[in-house]
Amino acid sequence: MAQLWGGRFTKDTDQLVYNFNASISFDKKFYKQDMEGSIAHVKMLGKQGILEAGEAQEIVEAIKEIMREVDEGKLKISHVYEDIHSFVEATLIDRLGDVGKKLHTGRSRNDQVALDMRLYTRQEVLETDGLLEGLLRAILTIMEQNTDTFMPGFTHLQKAQPVTLAHHMGAYFEMFKRDRQRMEDIYQRMNYCPLGSGALAGTTYALDRYDTARQLGFVGPTLNSMDGVSDRDYLIELLSALATVMMHLSRFSEEVIIWNSNEYQFVEIDDAYSTGSSIMPQKKNPDIAELVRGKTGRVYGALMSLLTTMKGIPLAYNKDMQEDKELTFDAIDTVKGCLALFTGMLSTMKFRKERMEESARHGFTNATDAADYLVNHGVPFRDAHGIVGKLVLYCIQKHAAIDDLSLEELKQISPVFEADIFEAVSMETCVEKRLTIGAPGQKAMEQVIALEKEYLEHDWKKSIADWETALLE
C-alpha cells in the first residue's frame, strides 16, 4: 500500500478496501497525460511565483525523466500505488526530496484526473476519427469502381428495386461521415481545461488557468470549478457516438455475412480475413464480421453503464466517477480495433459482380418501373399498380421475369404495353433513369462521388493541429 494521505487516520486501510479503491491497474493507461498535466501545472506555478523558478525547472526535468524511463520500460509502474497520480508524485519525491513535495500545490486529484481523462480521450477522438476516415476512403474506392455494378436493393430483406454497388456503399459512406462529424463536434465541446478547479472550489493560490489551458492545447479553462471536476458529459457523448459507430459497423457486418453466405455469394471475404472450422473442412467463416457485430453489445453496455453511474451523483466529485475509466477505455479500444479490422476486410473483399447483377435481374426489381411505364402512357398509378401485380403473378406461374415475356403476353394483361416496354424495364434503364441527386443513376452517383472526394480533402484534424501550433508559439 502506498498512498498520498493518512495523516488523520489512526489505522491502516484494510487490504481489501485498498484493493477495491485503487485504480492504478487501469489509470496507468494515461501516465503520459498525467505527467504532461503536471508539467504544465508546475511551469505555471513557476511563472506565477508560487514555486521558485529553479524548483519548477527541477520538477519539470525530473518528470520528463520519469516519463522517458516509463516509455522505455526502465521504470515499471508499480501496483503498490493507489493510482497513477500517487505513483508519479511518490517517484518524484523519491528523486527530489522536499522539492518533489511541492508538485501538488494548488491542485487536487479531482481536477487532475478530470484533466488526464480529457487529455487521453481527446487524443483518442482524433485517432478514432482517423480510422473512420480510412474506412471512408476504402468505401469511396469501391464506389468509384462500381457505379455500373447492378445489384438488388432490398426492403424487408426482399428484393425491391435495382441499385448499384456504388449506391449501396454510398449509404454507408454517409453514415460514417456523420460519425466523423460527431467526433469533431465532441472534440470541440470537450476542449476546455478543468485543471485549476481544485477539489471543487478552485484555490486561493494565484493560478493562471488560462496559461495551463493554453500549454495543454485547450480553448480555455472550464468556467465552473464544481462542474470542472464532475462533468463526465463529454464521455457520455463520446460513448454514444462510439455506440453509433458500432451500430453502423454491425449493420454493415450483417450485410457482409449475408452477402458472403452460400446462398447469396455476392462477396468473397479474403482468406486473410476468414477463419476455418476445426471439424468441417469446407468451411470459410466470416468471423471478423460476426465479432464486430457481437462487440457492439459491449460498447452499448459502456454507454448505459456510465449514464447509470452518473444519474444519482450529487455535486461535485464522488468516487463513483472512477468507474468512467475502464468502460471508456474498453469502448474506445473496441471501436478502434473493429474499425481497423473492418476496413482491412472490406478493402480485400471480392465483389462478385455477376452474381449481384444476376440477382437484380430476377425478383421483379423492375416492377415499379413497369408500373411507371403505364403511368407515362396515361394509366392512373393505382390502376397501373394493379395491372403490374397481375403481371408479376403471371410471371411467377410461368417462372419468368417480366422482360422474358413476349409483347403479346404483355398486351393480354394490358393493351397499353408497346415494344418499348422492354427497354423501359431493362436493368440499365431502371437504374439510369434514377438521376435525382442521391439516387443510383450513374450521373447522379458521379456527382455524389465528386462531393465526397471534396469532403475528404478537408480534414478537420488538420485545422485543430494548426490552431494548437499557433497557440503554443
Least distance in Å: CB of 196 to ligand ARG? 16
Own/partner contacts of 156-162, CB < 8 Å, gap of 24 or more, are: 158/363, 159/359, 159/360, 159/362, 159/363, 159/364, 159/365, 160/365, 161/365, 161/366, 161/368, 161/369, 161/430, 162/360, 162/365, 162/366, 162/427, 162/430, 162/431, 162/440
Q: Single out the catalytic residue among 156, 399, 406, 458.
A: 156
Least distance in Å: CB of 192 to ligand ARG? 19
Question: Is there binding between residue 229 and ligand ARG (CB under 6 A)?
Answer: no
What is the C-alpha to C-alpha distance for residues 322 and 275, in angstroms, rounded to an integer?
Answer: 38
What is the residue type of 375?
V
Segment near ligand ARG (CB under 6 A); pick from 125-133, 316-324, 360-368, 397-405: 316-324
Size of the site for ligand ARG (CB under 6 A): 11
Residue 366 to residues 40, 61, 400, 411, Cα–Cα distance (Å): 66, 73, 13, 18
Nearer to ligand ARG, 293 or 325 (CB): 325
Question: Is there binding between residue 38 and ligand ARG (CB under 6 A)?
Answer: no
E strand or H helix that includes residue 153: strand 150-155
Contact positions with ligand ARG (CB under 6 A) in 324-353: 325
Q: Which residue is nearest to ligand ARG (CB)?
A: 322
Segment near ligand ARG (CB under 6 A); pick from 9-17, 244-252, 319-327, 344-352: 319-327
Nearer to ligand ARG, 27 or 179 (CB): 27
Alpha carbon 232 to its chain's center: 18
Helix ranges (H only) for 146-193 are 165-190
Question: Is there binding between residue 322 and ligand ARG (CB under 6 A)?
Answer: yes
Contact positions with ligand ARG (CB under 6 A) in 133-192: none
Least distance in Å: CB of 18 to ligand ARG? 13
> Could you tell me the three cell numbers for 246?
458500432
Nearer to ligand ARG, 185 or 233 (CB): 233
Nearer to ligand ARG, 115 or 464 (CB): 115
- For ligand ARG, the binding residue among 28, 109, 122, 159 (CB under 6 A) is 109
For 208, residues 6+ apart whose C-beta sits below 8 A from its C-beta are 44, 47, 48
Least distance in Å: CB of 116 to ligand ARG? 9
Q: Does the annotation mark 41 as catalytic?
A: no
Is the Cα dihedral 31, 37, 42, 43 positive or negative? positive
Contact positions with ligand ARG (CB under 6 A) in 6-25: 23
SS3 201: coil
Cβ pair 304, 93 in contact under 8 A: no
Question: Is there binding between residue 90 and ligand ARG (CB under 6 A)?
Answer: no
E strand or H helix that includes residue 220: strand 220-221
Nearer to ligand ARG, 317 or 351 (CB): 317
Contact positions with ligand ARG (CB under 6 A) in 47-86: 83
For 239, residues 6+ apart whose C-beta sits below 8 A from its C-beta are 299, 302, 303, 306, 327, 328, 331
Dihedral angle of Cα 230, 236, 237, 243, to the nearest 10 degrees: 170
What is the residue type of 135?
L
Nearer to ligand ARG, 314 or 415 (CB): 314
Q: Does the annotation mark 463 as catalytic?
A: no
Q: Single out the catalytic residue among 261, 277, 362, 463.
A: 277
User: Interface with ligand ARG by CB under 6 A: which residues?
Assistant: 23, 27, 83, 109-110, 113, 317, 319, 321-322, 325
> Which residues does the annotation mark as catalytic?
156, 277
